Structure 1
C-alpha cells in the first residue's frame, strides 16, 4: 500500500473500487498518460472476481464469487496486453430427470450427433432437437451482431434493431416475455427449463414477467463473445484481476488497498475524495472520479437521492470433493456431466413453482440450482497432490432465493436452504454429495455457502445483487448518456456493474468509462 504522502497530490482520475472494472479503467487511463489513483476498501484488489483458498490448510484456489467468463471482449485483453487465457468446455450442460420411473437426462455436448441423439432419447422424436437448433441459430445471429457494440458508444434502439435485422428475433428477445418465445418453440418441460435458466441467473423473475428483466438477463447470457459460450478462466478468476492489476501498475496507476472511500465532493470540474484507512483519514483530489461501486453506493458518497433498492436472489456454494459422485443415470460419465452446467430442479414447471413460492415469502420446496466443476477443465487451481488424488471443485449457483427471505435469520435460513438444495442434487446421485466432500486441516467438510445478505456484507453488493441493479438494454434510453456511464455530475462516471451494459465479468463498464473520460476536454 502506498504511503499517505503519495495520495496527497491531484490526479487526473480517482477510481473508487478496485474490482475488475475499476482495474480495466485504471489500465486504459494510465496507458493513455493520465495520472490515476485506485482506492479499494478491502486489503486486495479484484472485488468479486477473485480466487481464494477458502478451506483451511487445503491447496485449492477457487473462484469464490464469480466463476465463468463470457462477456469479456478479446479487445480488452489485447488492448491491455493481459496474460490471461480461457478454456472452452466440451459439454455445455447436463440436466438429469426421471422419466417413466428411470433416471435419465439431457447432455448437451460432445458434437452435434451426440446432442441430437440425446434429444431424441429424452423426447422420443426429432422435433425438439430441430427447434433447439433453430432457436439457438437465431440467438447466435443476434450475438454476432450485438456483442461488438458493447465497447462502442450506445446505439439508439432503432439502430440496434436495424443491426440485428431479424424482426422475429427482435420480438422474441426485446418485446415479449421470454416465456412466450420458449413456449412457442419448445414442448418438453425439461428442455423449456434448460432454455429459461439463462434468463434467471441473478435475476428474480417469472418467465412471463412484463418488466422483461428476465429477457435482459437472457440477452446478456447468450451474446458473450459473439457466440454465447461460457468459458473457464485458466488459473481461476483471480488470474484475470491479477493480470489487470499488473497492467494498471505497469502503466503507472497507483493502487491503494485498505482505503475506504467515505465521501465524494464535486463541482462538476474538480473533485475531492475522502477516505479512511486503519491509520486514520485522508483525502485526494482529481479532475474526474470513476466509481466502480454500485449506484446506491455512489448516491451515498455524493449525497444524491438514492436509486431504487436492489435485491439479489441467489445462493452461492463452493465445495471441494475427494472424488466426483456417481450418478443414478449410468449412461453419463460424471466427468462429462459436471464439466458443463449441471442443472438441478430446473424444469420449466419447477422454476415457475420455485418463483411463486419465493414471491410468497417462502423458500422453494425444491430449490433450483446449477453446478459446474472448474477443475475438470483447468486442474491448475488444485495443488499437485490434490490433483493426483482425484480431488475436484464444485461451484453451485442457486436461483429464486431473494434477499428478503433471509432478513429474519440469515444463518438459520442459509443452513435450511443449503440442506434442501443438496437434497435436490442427491436425488440424482448414486451416493450423497456429503460423502464425497473433502475435509480441511481442522477436519471440517470443505463447503461454504453465501446468501445475498452474505454477498452484501462481503462485497457491498446492494441486496446481494450480483449486477448491482436490474440489467439494462444495450441501447440508449433517456438519461443513459453517450456511453451509459454518465451520472448527474459531469466529472463523475459509473464504471461498475450498475452501468448500462454492466453485469458479469466483462470489463465493459470499465472500458466505456475510460473512453468517456478520454473523450472529454479538460478546460
Structure 2
C-alpha cells in the first residue's frame, strides 16, 4: 500500500501538536486534521466577552505537567510564571472571617494562618505530608517521558531513592484510599479538605473509594515537576498551543483546520470533511495517531466497520463522566473578603478554595448522588491576571480589572441529563455565584464587569458544553479514567506502543492525547510518548 503521509494525526489539541513536532523532527511526513477552526483543543485563549479586550484561557488554565525537556527540545518560547501563594481557604466554621493561607516561601506566615483557624497542631503535619508526597513524586516524575515501568519497578525506584519512609508512603498513596492517610495525619476539617481537593478535581469520587480513582487524580495533581507546582502560562493557554503549532509547522507538519474526521480504518485510511463546503476527502498514513477521546476513536472505527479499540471504561462499561463546571468571570476589581487579615491580592494570588472543607466535600457528593446540584457548591478559584496581566488591554489593566476562573466540583454529567442546556447552564451559574457570595464581604455581582451591551461578563462551561464543543464524551476532562503512570506487573509491554502507554487494539493506530496512559492535563506527554513509540517502531523495522 502506498501512503500519503508517514503519520496522520486525528485532532489538533496540544498533545497532537507535540506529536506532530516530534514526528516531523525525526524526518517523518505529518498531517494534522482538526475539526475546529483553530488548533489547541482545550488549551486555547479567546475573547470570551464581546467588546471586552481580554483573552481568557477558555477551558484549561494552569500548567504543571509540561516537562521543561519538551519546551527545550521543541524550542518553545514559553514563560510559565510561579504564583506567590499556594492557596487560601475561608473557614466555614467562622463564616469566612478567618481562613487558611498557605504561602509558597513564607513558612512563618503559613504557620500563623494554621494557628488562626485553630489548626496549629496540623501545621507540621501538613508540611510533613507534603514532604512525604515528594518522596513519591520526585521519583516518578522523570519516568513520565520514559517507557513505562511496571508497578514493582516503580515501587522499587521510590523505595530506593526515598529513604526509610518510602515504602510506607507508597502504600499510603498508591495501595490504599488516600482519604485514610489524610484522616490519620490531620485533625482539622478545613485542612483535610484542602488536601483532599487535589484528589477530586474533575472526578466524581469519594475519599475512601476502593477503585482508587481519587488516588490517581491526587498523584497527577502532585507529580508535576516533582513538587506539584501549578504555574501560570504567560499570555494564557493560547500561548502554549500557539508555540506548539509553530514548532510543528517548523518541523514540516501540515496542519489543516476545519477538517472533521469521519472515519478511520485499521490500515491507515482516514476520511474527513474539508473546509466550509464539507467536501469529503481521504488520506492514508503508515501510522494514525488519535488525539481525540477513545470513545470518539471507537465511533470513527465503527464508521469504517472495524473493531473498536481498547479503552478504560467506568462502572458498567460506560465512559467515566466528567464532574465539574467552569465559570469565567471578568471583574472591575477584586471582591472584598470577610477575613480582615488577608488582602484580596494575596487570597486570589493562589488557588482560592471555597466550601471545600472535608465535611463540605462529602456533603456535596452526597447531594449529587441524590440527584441535586450541591449547595453550597465546592469551588476553586484562580486569578490569572494577578500573576500575568498581559492578557488584558492596557486600558483594562489601568482600571484595576481582573479575571477569575471558577472550577466547581461534584457536578457529575448525569445531573444535567434531561435538562435544557440553557436551564442547566443557568442553574450551575447560580450555584457558583451563590457559593462565591457565601465567603465574600460583598455580592460578587457588584464587581462583575458588564460588556458594551450591558450583559454581565460571565461565561459558564458545563460538561455538556465540553462534549458538544470539544468532543469530550460526558465532559470528562481526562478523556476517561486516569491510569497509574506504570503498568501492572502482568500487563504486556512487548511492542513500543505498549511500552510507551499509547497502544490500541490496532497495531497502526496509537493514542496521542489525554486518553494515553500518562495523559490528562496540559502536559504534552501523550503526544511525546506516541511519537517515541512511532520512532522506536520504525527504527526497529529498519533494523537500526
Q: Does residue 318 of structure 1 match 2:328?
A: yes
1:457 alignment partner, SS class: helix
The CA deviation string for residues 375-396 of structure 1, in whole angstroms up to 9 with x for no partner, is 0000000011000110000000
* Aligned CA distance change for structure 1 residues 376 and 492 (closer, same or farther; 3 Å): same
Q: Is the 8 A contact 2:135 2:169 kept in 1?
A: no
* Aligned CA distance change for structure 1 residues 100 and 275 (closer, same or farther; 3 Å): closer
Q: Does residue 434 of structure 1 match 2:445?
A: yes
Q: Which residue of 1 aligns with 2:352?
A: 342
C-alpha deviation, 1:458, in angstroms: 0.9
- Aligned-residue CA RMSD (Å): 1.4
Q: Does residue 364 of structure 1 match 2:359?
A: no
Q: Which residue of 2 aligns with 1:11?
A: 5
Work out the CA distance in 1 between the residues paired with 2:225 and 2:52: 34
C-alpha deviation, 1:301, in angstroms: 1.1
Q: Which residue of 1 aligns with 2:37?
A: 43
Q: Does residue 61 of structure 1 match 2:60?
A: no
Q: Which residue of 2 aligns with 1:111?
A: 106
The CA deviation string for residues 39-95 of structure 1, in whole angstroms up to 9 with x for no partner, is 000001000000000100111000000010000000100110001110000100000
C-alpha deviation, 1:260, in angstroms: 0.5
1:170 alignment partner, SS class: helix
1:493 alignment partner, SS class: strand
C-alpha deviation, 1:348, in angstroms: 0.2
Alignment of 1:41-190 (within 5 A): 41-99=35-93, 103-109=97-103, 111-123=106-118, 125=120, 127-165=121-159, 166-190=166-190
The CA deviation string for residues 127-175 of structure 1, in whole angstroms up to 9 with x for no partner, is 2001001100011221111111000000010010011111111111111
Q: Which residue of 2 aligns with 1:5?
A: none
Work out the CA distance in 1 between the residues paired with 2:34 and 2:334: 38
Alignment of 1:476-495 (within 5 A): 476-477=487-488, 478=491, 481-495=498-512
Q: Is the 8 A contact 2:213 2:482 kept in 1?
A: yes
* Runs of 4 or more consecutive aligned structure 1 residues displaced over 6 Å after TM superposition: none
Structure 2 counterpart of 1:470, from 477, 481, 485: 481
Work out the CA distance in 2 between the residues paired with 1:479 and 1:436: 56
Work out the CA distance in 1 between the residues paired with 2:250 and 2:191: 48
Deviates more, 1:305-314 or 1:40-49: 305-314
Q: Which residue of 1 aligns with 2:434?
A: 423
2:502 alignment partner, SS class: coil
2:449 alignment partner, SS class: coil
Q: Which residue of 1 aligns with 2:217?
A: 217
Aligned length: 512
Q: Which residue of 2 aligns with 1:3?
A: none
Work out the CA distance in 1 between the residues paired with 2:59 and 2:119: 39
Q: Which residue of 2 aligns with 1:384?
A: 394
C-alpha deviation, 1:102, in angstroms: 6.8
C-alpha deviation, 1:414, in angstroms: 2.3
C-alpha deviation, 1:312, in angstroms: 0.4
Q: Which residue of 2 aligns with 1:273?
A: 270
Q: Which residue of 1 aligns with 2:246?
A: 246
Q: Is the 8 A contact 1:69 1:232 kept in 2?
A: yes
2:410 alignment partner, SS class: coil
Q: Is the 8 A contact 2:14 2:241 kept in 1?
A: yes
Work out the CA distance in 2 between the residues paired with 1:518 and 1:190: 48
C-alpha deviation, 1:479, in angstroms: 5.3
C-alpha deviation, 1:413, in angstroms: 2.6
The CA deviation string for residues 227-256 of structure 1, in whole angstroms up to 9 with x for no partner, is 100000000011010000000001110000
2:453 alignment partner, SS class: coil
* Aligned CA distance change for structure 1 residues 43 and 204 (closer, same or farther; 3 Å): same
Superposition TM-score, scaled by structure 1 size: 0.96
Work out the CA distance in 2 between the residues paired with 1:413 and 1:56: 23
Work out the CA distance in 2 between the residues paired with 1:153 and 1:123: 46
Q: Which residue of 1 aligns with 2:25?
A: 31
Work out the CA distance in 2 between the residues paired with 1:100 and 1:156: 47
- Structure 2: 5+ residue stretches without partners: 160-165, 314-318
Work out the CA distance in 2 between the residues paired with 1:427 and 1:482: 49
Work out the CA distance in 2 between the residues paired with 1:19 and 1:98: 39
Q: Is the 8 A contact 1:406 1:414 kept in 2?
A: no
The CA deviation string for residues 299-321 of structure 1, in whole angstroms up to 9 with x for no partner, is 11112347532310000000110
Work out the CA distance in 2 between the residues paired with 1:14 and 1:238: 23
Q: Is the 8 A contact 1:329 1:428 kept in 2?
A: no
* Aligned CA distance change for structure 1 residues 101 and 423 (closer, same or farther; 3 Å): closer
Q: Does residue 507 of structure 1 match 2:490?
A: no
Work out the CA distance in 1 between the residues paired with 2:245 and 2:208: 42
Q: Which residue of 1 aligns with 2:464?
A: 453
Q: Which residue of 2 aligns with 1:302?
A: 301
1:520 alignment partner, SS class: helix
